């Protein structure tokens, strides 16, 4: 009788990866980061388990977008009250907090369930070139 192999998940054995977003297209970077967060780059990828690594994304303010997304794309939030729908353009959001733009792009590429909410907690995004995760000894990953 054949048995299905289920890999053991060891949260203490996760790697840390640093990705520099300076000059990289938003969608391209978000796809690569989502794959690393889910563990799709590993040979033991299992869709229902959190097998991925921690990702530190630096220089989120330097990410570039194509076309006219800066003026036409909007981010919405709703307070729950009548007339409580607020819209912010991508241009305004990038100037105010560029980390939210990248977080929203990656979050949209993850599963929409409790596993996706758990996975997105391993993403650490910073607008500048510095981050406080030196002790984890992250390895650099190229997006080219």
User: Got the DSSP string for 28-66?
Assistant: HHHHHHHHHHHTTTSTT--TTS----EEEEE-GGG-B--
Residue 137 domain flag: yes
Residue 29 domain flag: yes
Residue 101 domain flag: yes
Print the domain residue range for 119: 14-65+91-141
Q: Walk along the chain (144 residues) and give the pLDDT tens digit of each residue.
A: 889 889 999 888 899 999 999 999 999 999 999 999 999 999 999 999 999 999 999 999 999 999 999 999 999 999 999 999 999 999 999 999 999 999 999 999 999 999 999 999 999 999 999 999 999 999 999 986
Residue 97 domain flag: yes
pTM above 0.85, yes or no: yes
Residue 34 domain flag: yes
Strands 85-89 and 123-125: unpaired
Give pLDDT, residue 143: 84
Identify the CATH number of the domain in which residue 31 sits: 3.90.1180.10
Distance CA 25, CA 66 (A): 7
Give pLDDT, residue 68: 96
Residue 84 domain flag: no
Residue 33 domain flag: yes
Work out how many domains the chain is built from and give that number: 1
């Amino acid at each position: 009788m054949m048995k299905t192999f289920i890999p053991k998940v060891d949260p203490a054995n996760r790697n840390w990866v640093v990705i520099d977003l300076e000059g990289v297209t938003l969608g391209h970077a978000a796809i690569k980061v989502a794959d690393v967060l889910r563990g799709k780059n590993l040979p033991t990828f299992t869709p229902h388990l959190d097998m991925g690594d921690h990702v530190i994304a630096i220089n989120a303010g330097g990410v570039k977008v194509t076309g006219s997304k800066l003026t036409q794309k909007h981010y919405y939030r709703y307070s729950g009250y009548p007339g409580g729908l607020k819209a912010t353009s991508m241009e305004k959001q990038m100037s105010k907090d560029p980390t939210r733009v990248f977080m929203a792009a990656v979050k949209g590429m993850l599963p929409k369930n409790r596993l996706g909410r758990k996975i997105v907690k391993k993403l650490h995004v910073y607008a500048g070139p510095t981050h406080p995760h030196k002790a984890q000894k992250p390895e650099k990953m190229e997006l080219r």
